Amino acid sequence: MKIDDTITFAFKNIKQKKTQSLLTIVGIVIGVLAMVSLISLGYGVQNYIHEEMMKMGSNKITILPMKQFGVPPSHLFTKKDVKVVERVKGVDAIMYGWFGSCEIEYNGEKKLVSYFYATPSKLREVYKDSGYDIEKGRWLEDNDKYACVIGYGTAHNLFDREIKVGDVVKIKDKKFRVVGILKEVGNQQDDNSIILNIDIGEKLFGNKDKYNIIVVTVKEGEDIDKVAEDIKEALKKSLGDEDFSVLTAEQLAERISSILGVITIFVVGVAAISLLVGAIGISNTMHMSILERRRDIGILKALGAETTDILAIFVIESGFLGLFGGIIGLVLGIVMAKGVEILAHKMGYLMVNAWISWELIVGILIFSFLVGVISGYFPARSGAKLNPIETLRGE
Amino acid sequence: MIKLKNVTKTYKMGEEIIYALKNINLNIKEGEFVSIMGPSGSGKSTMLNIIGCLDKPTEGEVYIDNIKTNDLDDDGLTKIRRDKIGFVFQQFNLIPILTALENVELPLIFKYRNSMSEEERRKRALKCLKMAELEEKFANHKPNQLSGGQQQRVAIARALANNPPIILADEPTGALDSKTGEKIMQLLKKLNEEGKTVVVVTHDINVARFGDRIVYLKDGEIEREEKLGGD
Ligand SMILES: Nc1ncnc2c1ncn2[C@@H]1O[C@H](COP(=O)(O)OP(=O)(O)OP(=O)(O)O)[C@@H](O)[C@H]1O
Ligand SMILES: [Mg+2]
């Protein structure tokens, strides 16, 4: 039998039993829908983080005073450590400061925000062309004292009344004038923020000559990994221990991605189980359908069809059932992922993105076709082996 | 053309052995029209299925067009069925989802696969429908849109598709009224006169009379034969 004849035949069979076919593929539809939306969102978030990290600067190295994310620092950096890092060959600009969280007061309301202080000129040098753009007002200058720049979220979302340039906010009862508002970055931590000058910050929070972050840029043409390695060596020598981390943007992105990757694999696994249920559904329908069509099988064999012809007819039929389920699931999955993305963006979570690519689409379609083929294979094989007289007799 | 030599077919039912056919010897010449009669359960269908290579004898030898079919494997038997034999069944056995024309095309698809163009296939199928005297306007009807007689004509056209030398019909008129049945028998007779070897199983003596010879089966054995001097 020619392959296109087989396909035509399979199509006619599916069309004949529209309702039954539709019911069969519901399982596949749900499985594929779940898989597509989860993969799409999972990779979307990973890609977003990666891109943001790279935007932050593929030429930046971040140095933190702890070995791992999330653990409290064992010691803090001082001017001496800054000097050590500054002297490493290949280091261009350097910025050091402190990030933490504090309450700010505005219009009688108090809210928790993340704060960051550093020397404004150094901050700008390191983060020039890094997406930290001013939406309104201006950046801090080195001689600014009780002035601050606030994040997009702090200005627009956090308080009942929006904060405008020129307004005054209070931190620890000290008044700060807002001189600039940053553009939206897309994550809460960066958007609900306040940035101060280092002199004021150190006084306000009582951390004189202590820094919990150092960021450097690498000179053009230098190998960033090599520079990072040298910084690590230099700090190890001067501090006498290894309780700090030196991270390039790439490494940072990878660390976060790998955590997200594990979660993605887990949820996709759950989706795969629902797909398996769908496959069993197809297998079952094919089994029933072959029982119903025993007679046709006998006729086809009497007319000269070989066992492989019969096998091909049913396997292709179930393959197409899988594929149809896959197409519907794919469309619904993409719609769902996009919907989640739009909803999340509305709520300010710019990091939630639907990742849709040709690889995903083609991969899912091939996969669902194969699920159909495999689940149809065993019932089809038992059908193809039926003895023609047995099937023709029972009238 | 067809030769059965000491053919026995048994079925095991638990301990018991049932003889569907007992030591059958039968010779059917090329161009002959043979009717097989006998009471229900006498082994008529079993014999026809063995001739048609749908079934294998337990003992004995079967020759179709001088080919000994005992030695063939499943694929070999399939090829004999495809090339040498056209089947006509009581229940027509058309594929319900295919049109009349597509049903007739099926044997061509299985035989020629890629080597026959779609146009050629259609042409051949239409020719067969014409030979089976089905009006062309029914070619694109589904079986359930056709009368019993028309369906049986489609089935005969399908049996003719690969131009086999032998037509086997198991009670071809069994599901038809007597007038329609007679027309179908006239068609088979015409095909026989055009050179096909025809074997018809029937309960109906009026149907059997279309043959050149009637073979009577009883309890799996040939009871007697009757030669008819034309009809
Ligand atoms: N698969 C089988 N298993 C057991 N016995 C069988 C089987 N097939 C046929 N038989 C037996 O073989 C005998 C002959 O059956 P066959 O179908 O050839 O009869 P028949 O002459 O065609 O009858 P009918 O006129 O009712 O069609 C019967 O006794 C039947 O019960
Ligand atoms: Mg019978």
**Helical segments of chain A, H only:** 3-16, 18-56, 79-87, 120-127, 152-153, 188-191, 198-205, 224-239, 249-292, 294-302, 307-346, 358-384, 388-393
∠ Cα A3 B91 B27 (to 5°): 90
Residue found by looking up tokens 């009780």 in the block: A146
Same domain, A192 and A238: yes
Same domain, A92 and A217: yes
Report the pLDDT value the prediction gives residue A2, as an integer from 0 to 100: 57
Residues listed for chain B: 231
Q: Same structural domain for residues A197 and A280? A: no
Is there a domain that residue A259 lies in?
yes
DSSP string, A213-261: EEEEEEPTTS-HHHHHHHHHHHHHHHHSS---EEEEHHHHHHHHHHHHH
- The answer to whether B71 faces chain A, any CB pair under 8 Å, is no
Dihedral, A194, A196, A201, A207 alpha carbons, nearest 10: 70
Chain B residues whose CB is inside 8 A of the A13 CB are 97
Tell whether A70 is covered by a domain: no
Closest B-chain CA to A16: B97
Query: Residue A175 falls within a domain, yes or no?
Result: yes
Would an 8 Å CB–CB cutoff place B84 in contact with chain A? no
pLDDT for res A3: 61
Any idea which ligand is nearest the CA of B89? 2
End residue of a domain, out of A217, A242, A267:
A242
Compare CB distances from A304 to B74, B89, B111 and report the shortest one's residue.
B111
Yes or no: say if B183 and B134 are a contact pair by the CB < 8 Å rule: no
**Does the residue A63 lie in any domain?**
no
| Rounded Cα distance, B83 and B74, in Å | 14
pLDDT, mean over chain B? 93
At residue A314, the pLDDT reads 85
Task: State ipTM.
Answer: 0.87
DSSP string, chain B: -EEEEEEEEEEEETTEEEEEEEEEEEEE-TT-EEEEE--TTSSHHHHHHHHTTSS--SEEEEEETTEEGGG--HHHHHHHHHHHEEEE-TT----TTS-HHHHHHHHHHHHHGGGS-HHHHHHHHHHHHHHTT--GGGTT--GGGS-HHHHHHHHHHHHHTT--SEEEEESTTTTS-HHHHHHHHHHHHHHHHTT-EEEEE-S-HHHHTTSSEEEEEETTEEEEEEE----
Domains in chain A, number: 2
End-to-end Cα separation, chain B, in angstroms: 23
Q: How far apart are CA A23 and CA A34, in angstroms?
A: 18
If asked whether residues A226 and A269 sit together in one domain, one would say no
A303 touches B: beta carbon within 8 Å:
yes
- Indicate the residue type of B178: S
* One-letter identity of residue A195: I
Residue A181 sits in the same domain as residue A275: no
Q: Is residue A102 part of a domain?
A: yes
Same-domain status, A82 and A191: yes
Q: Are residues A221 and A328 in the same domain?
A: no
Count how many pairs of residues, chain A against chain B, have C-beta atoms within 8 Å.
65
Which of A86-90, A382-386, B72-76, B194-198 tops mean pLDDT?
B194-198
Residue A108 lies in a domain: yes
Q: Which residue range is the domain that position A142 belongs to?
A: 75-242
Instruction: Verify whether the Cβ–Cβ distance B97 to A16 is below 8 Å.
Output: yes
pLDDT at A301: 87
Q: Tell me, yes or no, whether A225 and A89 share the same domain.
A: yes
- Spell out which residues of chain A touch residue B104, defining contact as CB-CB under 8 Å: none
Give residue A98's pLDDT.
92
The tens digit of pLDDT for each residue in B10-21 reads 999 889 999 999
Is A116 strand, coil or helix? strand
Query: What is chain A's pLDDT, residue by residue, as a tens digit (395 residues)?
Result: 556 777 777 777 777 777 777 777 888 888 888 888 888 888 888 787 777 776 666 788 888 888 766 667 777 899 999 999 989 998 998 999 998 889 999 999 999 999 999 999 888 888 766 656 788 889 889 988 899 999 999 999 889 999 999 999 999 999 999 999 998 877 777 788 999 999 999 999 988 889 989 999 888 888 888 999 999 999 888 888 888 888 887 777 777 777 777 777 887 787 788 778 778 877 887 788 788 878 888 888 888 888 888 888 888 888 988 899 999 999 999 999 999 999 988 877 777 888 888 988 998 899 889 988 988 888 888 888 888 887 777 54
- Domain final residue, candidates A190, A213, A242: A242
Same-domain status, A262 and A223: no
Q: Which residue has the tokens 């030769």?
A: B3
Q: Which atom of ligand 1 is nearest to the CA of B171?
A: 27
Residue A64 within any structural domain of the chain: no
Pocket probe mutation, ligand 1, options B46, B171, B202, max atoms within 8 Å of Cβ: B46
Q: Which of A303, A307, A390 to mutate to test the interface with B (most CBs of B within 10 A)?
A: A303
Q: Which ligand is nearest to the CA of B50?
A: 1
Q: Check whether residue A236 and residue A260 sit in a common domain.
A: no
CA distances from A271 to A175, A259, A357, B4, B142 (A): 53, 19, 19, 61, 42
Residue A247 resides in a domain: no
Chain A residues close to B107, C-beta within 8 Å: 303-304
Test mutation, B102, B110, B151, B160, chain A, max A CBs within 10 A: B110
Half-sphere exposure of residue B52: CA atoms within 13 angstroms, side-chain side:
28
Q: A84 and A41, same structural domain? A: no
Distances (CA, A) of A42 to A337, A361, A367, B116: 10, 15, 19, 51
What percent of chain B shows pLDDT beyond 70?
Answer: 99
Residue A344 and residue A393 in contact, taking contact as beta carbons nearer than 8 Å = no
Q: Among the three residues A193, A218, A242, which one is the final residue of a domain in this structure?
A: A242
Q: Are residues A192 and A259 in the same domain?
A: no
